[in-house]
Chain A
Amino acid sequence: MSDDTLFAEVLDGANRANPYPIYERLRRRPVSRQRDGAYVVSTHAAIRSLLFDPRLSSEDLPPSRRPRTGNPFKDWIINPLKNRVATAHRPLIFRDPPDHDTLRGFVMKEFTIARVNNLHGRVEALVDTLIERCRGRDEVCLVEDLSYPLPVAVICELLGVPEADEPQFHAWATQLATALEPDARRDEEARRATVTTFDAIAAYMRRLIRDKRRHPADDMLSGLARRGDRGEPAMGDVDLISTAVLLLVAGHETTVNLITNGMLTLLRHPQELARLKADPERAPRLIEELLRYEPPVHFRTRKALGAIEIGGTTIPPGAPVVLLFASGNRDPERFSDPDRFDPSRDDIQHFGFGGGLHYCVGAPLARIEAEIALVTLCRRLVEPRLMADPPSYRAGASLRGPSNLGIHIAGIV
């Protein structure tokens, strides 16, 4: 197999359970050009330097295009306008400075330390309730029993989205998350589906934000929506909607992988599971190692704004650039014995939450959720055993994690 098709192999679902040998082959060069013109960056040093390089843009999505309806008024007037607005007001994950920084600033003002840390007790209660529901069974389906419902309940509470509406936007969130997957981005039909989904969820958010303005509560959406009323600088309504959608989707599609990958890794390393059970104080370091060893997001795509010379390669202007975080995390030039899961290692400078100015906003929350979930699972599940290894995986190559993790248990304490 030649090197310029290695990334296609990464995207191939057949390699989802173990993409790491492909990453190892990619790392023979820090940057490898693929046949489709994309440049894959796979070593820790090259990823690190590009994360801080202003010549890489996150505004890499093609312009949004709504499907034809047959109604000329819509097709020639309304939808082209909507397309322009939607393209100009992408969520901050797809924006560059200075707009990105302004939007992120608004989010950070509401993502306060107190608001995040106050969720601690709530997360503990949720985890206990979700585990309690498995009582009497000899099998836990971790994704549907805990890894998915926990972050969803937490993000709904934080944003102030009624959890009762969740079934409505469950499928929307899954569809919108494909904006991070190269295959879905290239596929015309998938992109149309994403646009249609965005319109549906945006309409939902618009109504919700209107309610929040009338009846503000102590949640992030109320805070973001009310800023303008108090005479402070505020986001425009379109940015407010796309930000709300981004936070909701991010809360749905990422932490689920961290928790499931975490339990999978612990079940594959029973001695570490036993150690964590005996000493929950090991959790913070174990979670950082987990973010290195099995990160929830494997790569992000950017676009080169100018020619970038790196690692003996020149990336031409306009080329898509894939920052393969999960490969940098396993780079033997940076980490000794990188393929070993070793929570006692101290030098864990991972890309589990990305890096640079797009560093994951939700990182502190993800850490809290993962720590409480894993510590409680280890304490309460009696004799947990994996039912299938490897488990089945969700479709995503970037947002990568099991679709189901069956765990055999002898009971719950």
Chain B
Amino acid sequence: MRVVVDLNRCQGYAQCCYAAPESFALRGHEILFYDPAPPDEARARIERARLACPVRAIFVEAADLHAADVQESDPSKVDLPKVDRP
């Protein structure tokens, strides 16, 4: 499983730290440390963290996705969640 956090979006709400404390930690007010390759048994907690993020900054790539598809796909066509920017 691969985890990516868009740190431009992250606002330090710390909801991920409560949901998956072994994979996310906030140092000081807004420096987020996270495990980019958490073990598979953390999956349910990582999913909770992803869903609880108020700014949808956490992206999870599960192992059951075909790695080849991800590598070969055109980044501009990747279906990221729609985000409204003020």
Interface residues, chain A, with chain B CB atoms under 8 Å away: 44-45, 48-49, 52, 113-114, 116-117, 281, 284-285, 288, 334, 346-349, 353, 355, 359, 363-364, 367
Query: How far is the CB of A122 from the nearest CB of chain B, in Å?
Result: 16
Is B17 within 8 A of A45, CB to CB?
no
Number of interface residues of B (CB under 8 A): 19
Given A116-B18, A349-B56, A364-B19, check contact A288 B44 (CB 8 Å): no
User: Which residues on B sit within 8 Å (CB–CB) of A364?
Assistant: 15, 18-19, 52
Q: Which of A113, A334, A348, A355 contacts B51 (CB 8 A)?
A: A348
B86 at the interface (CB under 8 A from A): yes
Interface residues, chain B, with chain A CB atoms under 8 Å away: 13, 15, 17-19, 21, 44, 47-48, 51-52, 54-56, 81-84, 86
User: Which residues on B sit within 8 Å (CB–CB) of A45?
Assistant: 84, 86
Given A44-B84, A45-B86, check contact A347 B51 (CB 8 Å): no
User: Which residues on B sit within 8 Å (CB–CB) of A359?
Assistant: 13, 54
Known: A52-B86, A367-B52. 20 other contacts (CB 8 A): A48-B84, A48-B86, A49-B86, A113-B21, A114-B21, A117-B18, A281-B44, A284-B52, A334-B82, A346-B81, A347-B81, A347-B82, A348-B51, A359-B13, A359-B54, A363-B15, A364-B15, A364-B19, A364-B52, A367-B48
User: Which residues on B sit within 8 Å (CB–CB) of A117?
Assistant: 18, 21
Query: How far is the CB of A346 from the nearest CB of chain B, in Å?
Result: 7
Cα-based distance from A346 to B28 in the complex (angstroms): 30
User: Which residues on A sit within 8 Å (CB–CB) of B55?
Assistant: 349
User: Which residues on B sit within 8 Å (CB–CB) of A334?
Assistant: 82, 84
Is B51 within 8 A of A285, CB to CB?
yes
Cα-based distance from A281 to B43 in the complex (angstroms): 11
- B29's closest neighbor in chain A, by CB? A105
- A352's closest neighbor in chain B, by CB? B54
Cα-based distance from A348 to B13 in the complex (angstroms): 16
Is B52 within 8 A of A288, CB to CB?
yes
Cα-based distance from A353 to B18 in the complex (angstroms): 15
3 tightest A-B CB contacts, nearest first: A364-B18, A49-B86, A347-B81
Query: How far is the CB of B42 from the nearest CB of chain A, in Å?
Result: 14
- A356's closest neighbor in chain B, by CB? B11
Cα-based distance from A353 to B13 in the complex (angstroms): 11
Is A284 within 8 A of B51, CB to CB?
yes
Cα-based distance from A349 to B86 in the complex (angstroms): 14
User: Which residues on A sit within 8 Å (CB–CB) of B81?
Assistant: 346-347, 349
Cα-based distance from A49 to B56 in the complex (angstroms): 16
- B21's closest neighbor in chain A, by CB? A113
Task: Provide 16 A-B residue pairs closer than 8 Å at the C-beta atoms, listed in order of the A residue.
Answer: A48-B84, A52-B86, A113-B18, A114-B21, A117-B18, A285-B51, A288-B51, A334-B82, A334-B84, A347-B81, A349-B54, A349-B56, A359-B54, A364-B15, A364-B52, A367-B19
User: Which residues on A sit within 8 Å (CB–CB) of B82?
Assistant: 334, 347
- B86's closest neighbor in chain A, by CB? A49
Is A284 within 8 A of B86, CB to CB?
no
Cα-based distance from A116 to B55 in the complex (angstroms): 22
Cα-based distance from A132 to B86 in the complex (angstroms): 49
Query: How far is the CB of B44 from the nearest CB of chain A, in Å?
Result: 6
